[in-house]
Chains A and B, each alone.
Chain A
């Protein structure tokens, strides 16, 4: 078994959320993480990233916020275990980030 990091990115704005939408989305995340745990694939929910931050760019340009000039913002990450990259990618299916127009990046972790 190897370990993989799943990084969630989601695009900002362009949506109007209602309490119901939000509760539904929260439940999806919870169910998805619980699904991974029950399969025995879940390794760690990693460190918590604070929501403020700065970005340093060439020429000493510093901007506020944890954002590079990209359409998607890195949210958080978790670590899962799987036989290979394909299997790890299968685990990422059903991740709610994809439902909100975002993506999941799957990267093998070196070591162990």
Chain B
């Protein structure tokens, strides 16, 4: 039963996205909501027919036929469509009465690719882009999107509404960008996939399945890009490698009650070796060409993290990579991560000296790291830093981790007094 439910959920997500892309491509992005309705309707019919008559041999093909009929039905009865869309279609396809809706594998792939470029148009605000990507490219429900962003359904609905209006008003077409802008547009698409993945990997939701789904969907979108020669660039493969490496630790990272298992404490046997291998494959492909993007460097860092054993070589490499990443792309969180690598590679004192100059006073990870650095040498100072971190932490999972560290510190303190 569970296997069947799992199958249905994935069938819905994948086929929803494919059908919305194909229908929107045929009738225009202005009709994206109608496309969603048409596809939703096909699923409602499936619920009835499949459970009354039994599952068809090819569920996806069944859905395509129903969606096709629904679309024809809708557009025949809709006068706006007859006046505005049909003449354009007739002119472009040369067809008169019969509109061919093409659900071939090739057209599905092209439509999804074009939909990715449309959704990742920079005219749409980026938070709305991720929401729209989740809905239109990944078939997530509004509830799930709201949960992932830790916000209300109304907020998400408004955001999606605005994004769709923007698509309409800016007259964005579903087409591959011309050669001269392909590269910069591809950067946008990669960036949105990267954000989507991070949304899953560092999500504030407690829903583990949702987190994992977000990561896997980001990878699925990346695969679509690698399947197409013009978008299968070294940087695309670097992003894929990065996502595969990180995903290999998803299961090991997952503790009880939505808590994370920290990297140092993870059970290595839970790391997904197949995903690491997959990561290696994409990583080797990313090495073609001259360009080194931040994805390349992040993938390299993730690669070293896939080796559990600490060695001087490992941390010196990671430190070096963080140095380069900071040069390309400075961000406080990268600076913090670099600090941790510095501590591992060069030792406590050097890390403390640099940490004190960083002054990221709004960042709870900063104080957690400082606490970590002072632990064992100056436990009072360590505790003060942990405490500041605890006050700043935003999610319960983070708070739990910090609280545990403080408790351990207290325990150590007790032991120390007893031994005295």
Contacts and interface: CB of A to CB of B under 8 A. Distances in A.
Interface of A: 8, 10, 12-23, 25-26, 28-30, 33, 45-46, 48, 50-53, 63-67, 75-76, 78, 96-97, 100
A63 B75 CA distance: 12
B273 to A, nearest CB: 30
B13 A19 contact: yes
A64 B139 contact: no
A100 B43 CA distance: 12
Q: At the interface, is chain B mostly helix, strand, loop or mixed?
A: helix
Contacts of A15: 37, 40-41, 44
Given A8-B52, A22-B43, 18 more contacts: A8-B48, A13-B38, A13-B70, A15-B37, A15-B40, A15-B44, A17-B43, A18-B141, A23-B12, A25-B44, A26-B47, A28-B47, A29-B50, A48-B49, A51-B45, A65-B69, A66-B69, A78-B52
B9 interface: yes
B51 A26 contact: yes
Interface string B109-142: 0000000000000000000000000000001111
A17 B37 CA distance: 8
Contacts of B74: 12-13
B324 interface: no
Given A16-B37, A19-B141, A48-B53, A10 B76 contact: no
B139 A19 contact: yes
Contacts of A18: 140-144
A76 B47 CA distance: 11
Nearest to B64: A51
A78 B56 CA distance: 17
A-B pairs with lowest CB-CB distance, top 6: A18-B141, A29-B51, A17-B40, A26-B47, A25-B47, A19-B12
Contacts of B40: 13, 15-17
A75 B43 CA distance: 12
B176 interface: no
B53 A45 contact: yes
B36 interface: yes
Contact of A23 (B9, B16, B56, B70): B9
Contacts of A78: 52
Contacts of A22: 8, 12, 43-44, 46-47
B5 interface: yes
A14 B52 CA distance: 23
A13 B8 contact: no
A52 B36 CA distance: 20
Contacts of A96: 47-48
A74 to B, nearest CB: 11
Nearest to B69: A65
A14 to B, nearest CB: 7
A75 B141 CA distance: 25
A97 B37 CA distance: 17
Contact of B49 (A14, A28, A75): A75
A58 B76 CA distance: 18
Given A12-B74, A16-B40, A75-B48, A45 B69 contact: no
A13 B144 contact: no
B289 interface: no
5 contacts: A10-B44, A12-B70, A15-B41, A19-B144, A22-B46
